[in-house]
Amino acid sequence: MFAGAVLRSVSRSATAGGTPRAATRPILRGLSTAAQPGQPDGSRYDVDVQVLPDGLQIKGIRGNSVKREKLPHFWLRDNCRCQKCVHQQTLQRNFNTFAISEDIKPDQVKTEPDGVRVKWDGDGHESFYPWKFIKHYLRHDHRSPEDVEFHYWGSDIAVNRPAVSYNDLMAPENESGIARLTNLIREYGFVFVDGTPFGTPDATKRVLEKIAFIRETHYGGFYDFIPDLAMADTAYTNIALPAHTDTTYFSDPAGLQAFHMLSHEAPPGQSASASASPDEELGGKSLLVDGFHAANILLEEDPAAYAILSRVRLPWHASGNEGITISPDKRYPVLELDGATGKLARVRWNNDDRGVVPFTDDVSPTQWYAAARKWDGILRRPDVEYWVQLKPGQVLIFDNWRVMHGRSAFEGRRRMCGAYINRDDFISRWRNTNFPREAILSQVVG
């Protein structure tokens, strides 16, 4: 049952000197909304609205919890989402914010079953703010649908690795496969797509393009490589590579990376081993490390080292290829924390592509090396490392901001294909296949 009320037109009583006296403004009758489905505690939710000289004072009451927020008039007007103010096809703001009078005020405020309607002074523009929009700013429960429950893992993940089947993923008209795949990457940081045709790289490319378009870099777009140093990078060799993230030298490191081992032939003259999986004989095993899990261990065991790796900004570079010298827009730390939450947002770790450790005012290179040694030691712990022999048909896709990868040395002609995908394009695909668009818009628009 809803109750609504119309606030009498906002009266402005001028006083000497013309400064409007803040007349006592009646509170709009609280609006009691039945507990909405999924309301965390299932309790009633009352919202009171009071028009103040400089904004709408909103009070949200749920059980014993009362939250207040004042929504400034100008802020409300700027966030009008009517058909005139927002381009309905592109969802872009469709007016000049700064053409709105700075001291805009409502002429009339009315609560309705679905929200608050405001008629503005001046041009008489009318805005409507759904309760969902208003309650979002009451800081009652800022758990956004995008708050992810991370599943941290070590070598134990081998028992039950996250996977989807190629057929489920690629089923036409069915988004459940891509929804599950993107959600597994968000929760675990990686996923296998089993049963992917491997006679050619085409099916692998289709799998990746099911997520989003492929990111072009100086290595090209979709990559298909063997150890022939076609590009001046150790990935194009057969040497062992320790756990690392890729593209540490970009301001915006690749969000996803993928590998599909299409074939692995023994060196000429050496017969493929009779063993079930010749690859085991030839090496080239893949390594995955959950960087967030490793960082949690470091924080637990050596918080000072964690602080150093999250504070000291380092140079990173890719300079091996003729005429190409890539480095990020600024120096970045190994562990990048979210400025707002303090939570770990990104791991940037490739000791081979790291530049010279700087001398900074508060942390010496010796201190940084001691912290990095601790970090490196954690990455190499047997219970932290997940070693897996990739096989043709298994596409590995992982979050390059969280999961490090590497490989053991190998012999012979090992053919790998895959691609990078931008972080934001991956997150967009995850959002749009796992959450209702309305919930997404209320997150991304703010």
Ligand X SMILES: C[N+](C)(C)CCCC[C@H](N)C(=O)O
Ligand Y SMILES: O=C(O)CCC(=O)C(=O)O
Residues that bind ligand Y in the complex, under the rule CB under 6 A: 235, 241, 246, 259, 286, 405, 407, 416
Compute the least distance from the CB of residue 390 to ligand X, in Å: 14
Compute the least distance from the CB of residue 233 to ligand X, in Å: 4
* Sign of the four-CA dihedral 172, 173, 179, 180: negative
| Residue among 235, 307, 337, 440 that touches ligand X (CB under 6 A) | 235
**Interaction partner, residue 394 (ligand Y, ligand X, none; CB < 5-8 Å by kind):** none
Compute the least distance from the CB of residue 62 to ligand Y, in Å: 49
Task: With contacts defined by CB under 6 A, name the span among 41-49, 148-156, 241-249, 326-334 that binds ligand X.
Answer: 241-249
**CB nearer ligand Y, residue 49 or residue 288:** 288
Q: What is the distance between the alpha carbons of residues 163 and 161, in angstroms, rounded to a whole number?
A: 6
The answer for residues whose C-beta is within 8 angstroms of residue 81's C-beta and 6 or more apart is 127, 133
The answer for residues whose C-beta is within 8 angstroms of residue 173's C-beta and 6 or more apart is none
**Interaction partner, residue 247 (ligand Y, ligand X, none; CB < 5-8 Å by kind):** ligand X
Q: What is the distance between the alpha carbons of residues 79 and 442, in angstroms, rounded to a whole number?
A: 12
| Residue among 131, 137, 192, 225 that touches ligand X (CB under 6 A) | 225
DSSP code at position 235? G
**Interaction partner, residue 350 (ligand X, ligand Y, none; CB < 5-8 Å by kind):** ligand X
**Interaction partner, residue 33 (ligand X, ligand Y, none; CB < 5-8 Å by kind):** none
What pairing do the DSSP bridges indicate for beta strands 335-337 and 286-290?
Answer: unpaired
Q: Which residue is nearest to ligand Y (CB)?
A: 235
**Interaction partner, residue 407 (ligand X, ligand Y, none; CB < 5-8 Å by kind):** ligand Y
Tell me if 353 contacts ligand X by CB under 6 A. Answer: yes
Please tell me the total number of residues recorded for the chain in this structure.
446
Spatial contact of 185 and 376, defined as CB atoms under 8 Å apart:
no
| Residue among 45, 120, 219, 316 that touches ligand X (CB under 6 A) | 219
Give phi and psi for 406, each to the nearest 5: -165, -170
User: How would DSSP label each residue in 58-93?
Assistant: EEEEETTEEEEEEEEHHHHHHT--STTTB-TTT--B
Tell me if 350 contacts ligand X by CB under 6 A. Answer: yes
User: How would DSSP label each residue in 146-200?
Assistant: T-------SGGGGGG--EEEHHHHH-TT--HHHHHHHHHHHHHSEEEEET---SS
DSSP code at position 216? P
Tell me if 400 contacts ligand X by CB under 6 A. Answer: no
* Sign of the four-CA dihedral 404, 409, 410, 414: positive
Task: With contacts defined by CB under 6 A, name the span among 13-21, 178-186, 218-226, 372-380 that binds ligand X.
Answer: 218-226
Residues 255-314 interacting with ligand X (rule: CB under 6 A): none
Closest among 432, 406, 419, 388 to 256, alpha carbons compared: 419
Tell me if 230 contacts ligand X by CB under 6 A. Answer: no
**CB nearer ligand X, residue 120 or residue 332:** 332
**Interaction partner, residue 182 (ligand X, ligand Y, none; CB < 5-8 Å by kind):** none
Compute the least distance from the CB of residue 229 to ligand Y, in Å: 13
Compute the least distance from the CB of residue 206 to ligand X, in Å: 19
Give phi and psi for 138, each to the nearest 5: -90, 5
Tell me if 405 contacts ligand X by CB under 6 A. Answer: no
Tell me if 233 contacts ligand X by CB under 6 A. Answer: yes
Residues 246-265 interacting with ligand X (rule: CB under 6 A): 246-247
Tell me if 223 contacts ligand X by CB under 6 A. Answer: yes
Compute the least distance from the CB of residue 390 to ligand Y, in Å: 7
**Interaction partner, residue 405 (ligand X, ligand Y, none; CB < 5-8 Å by kind):** ligand Y
Q: What is the distance between the alpha carbons of residues 415 and 263, in angstroms, rounded to a whole number?
A: 5
**CB nearer ligand X, residue 77 or residue 260:** 260
User: How would DSSP label each residue in 377-444?
Assistant: HHHT-TTTEEEE---TT-EEEEETTTEEEEE--B-SEEEEEE-EE-HHHHHHHHHHHHS-HHHHHHHH
**CB nearer ligand Y, residue 405 or residue 429:** 405
**CB nearer ligand Y, residue 36 or residue 237:** 237
Residues at the interface with ligand X (CB under 6 A): 219, 223, 225, 233, 235, 244, 246-247, 350, 353
